[in-house]
Amino acid sequence: MNKPKYRRILLKVSGEALLGDNTFGIDHQVVKKIVEELKEVYKLGVELGIVIGGGNIFRGVAGQKSGMDRVRADNIGMLATLINALIIQDALISQKIPCRVLSAFEIIKVAENYIREKALIYLARKEVLILACGTGNPFFTTDTAAVLRALELKAEILFKATKVDGVYDKDPIKDSTAKKLDTLTFDEALIKKLKVMDATAFSLARDYKLPILIFNLLKPGNIKKAILGKNIGTLVIP
C-alpha cells in the first residue's frame, strides 16, 4: 500500500491552471481532472488545504495597469479567487468529499470566515479546506497567502501546482539548454536569481523554513506522486 510522505499539506493552485485552453474563465474538464486527483489524495488520509488564485478571471496588477485604484483592483482579484473556490467546492462535493470554503473576506452567504482555530479543527476532521480571498489585504499575492496559511495551519510542505514542470536553471522558453532542477535551497535560488514565487512569499517561506514543491498540475497523477514523495518537480528546501 502506498504510504503518504506528508500528513498535512497546503496546495496552491494558480487561477491560470484552471483556464485549460481558454484565455478567460474556467475549463470544467480541467477542474474535473484536478478533483479526481484530489479524491485519490483524500483516500490516503492526508489533511489538505487549498489556496486558489484568481488570475483566470481578474488580476489586481493588470487592473492597476489599466488605470484602476490598486486597492480596489486587488479586492476584485481576491473576489475572483472566491468564484474559483466555489467551483472547486462544487466539484469536490460531487465526489462526496467533505469540504469547506473559508474566506478571508466576510461573505457569510457563500462561505465561512477564515478563523485559524476552526480551520485546524476541520482539518483534523479530514475536511478539505478551500481558502479563498487571499490574505484579505491588498498588495499581497495568493502565493503569499498560500505561505501564510501553510504556516498558520502547520502544513509540512507547500505544493505550488502550476503549468510548468518545476524550476529551471535558465528560461526554458528562451534557452533550449535549460535544465530542470530536482532540488534547490532557498539561498541557491536567491544567488542564482531563480524565480520560484514573488519576493514576499519566498522570504516568508525562507524565514520559517517551509519547504516548497513546484510541479506541473496538469500532468495526470502528479498530485498523488507529490504526496507519496516521488521525484517530480523541484523541491525547494531550507
Q: What CATH number did the domain enclosing 19 receive?
A: 3.40.1160.10
pLDDT in tens, 127-178: 999 999 999 999 999 999 999 999 999 999 999 998 889 999 988 878 889 9
pLDDT in tens, 184-205: 999 999 998 898 899 999 999 9
77 is in an annotated binding site: no
User: Which residues 6+ apart lie within 8 Å of 83 measured at CB?
Assistant: 54, 57
> Into how many domains does the chain fold?
1
- 119 contacts 153 by C-beta, under 8 angstroms: yes
74 is in an annotated binding site: yes
pLDDT in tens, 92-129: 999 999 999 999 999 999 999 999 999 999 999 999 99
193 is in an annotated binding site: no
Q: Looking at the domain assignment, is residue 173 inside a domain?
A: no
139 is in an annotated binding site: yes
Q: What is the pLDDT of residue 2?
A: 81
What range does the domain containing 13 cover?
Answer: 8-166+181-217
54 is in an annotated binding site: yes
23 is in an annotated binding site: no
159 is in an annotated binding site: no
- 85 contacts 101 by C-beta, under 8 angstroms: yes
Q: Looking at the domain assignment, is residue 235 inside a domain?
A: no
Q: Looking at the domain assignment, is residue 48 inside a domain?
A: yes
pLDDT in tens, 36-81: 999 999 999 999 999 999 999 999 888 899 999 999 999 999 999 9
229 is in an annotated binding site: no
Q: Looking at the domain assignment, is residue 149 inside a domain?
A: yes
136 is in an annotated binding site: yes
> At 103, phi and psi to the nearest 5?
-110, 140
Across the chain, what does the average pLDDT equal? Answer: 95
180 is in an annotated binding site: no
Q: What is the pLDDT of residue 1?
A: 56
> At 88, phi and psi to the nearest 5?
-65, -40
75 is in an annotated binding site: no
Enter the pTM of the model.
Answer: 0.95
Nearest partner of 92 among 65, 116, 127, 132, judged by Cα: 127
141 is in an annotated binding site: yes
Q: Looking at the domain assignment, is residue 129 inside a domain?
A: yes
Q: Looking at the domain assignment, is residue 136 inside a domain?
A: yes
81 is in an annotated binding site: no
Q: Looking at the domain assignment, is residue 20 inside a domain?
A: yes
Q: Looking at the domain assignment, is residue 233 inside a domain?
A: no
pLDDT in tens, 217-228: 989 999 999 999
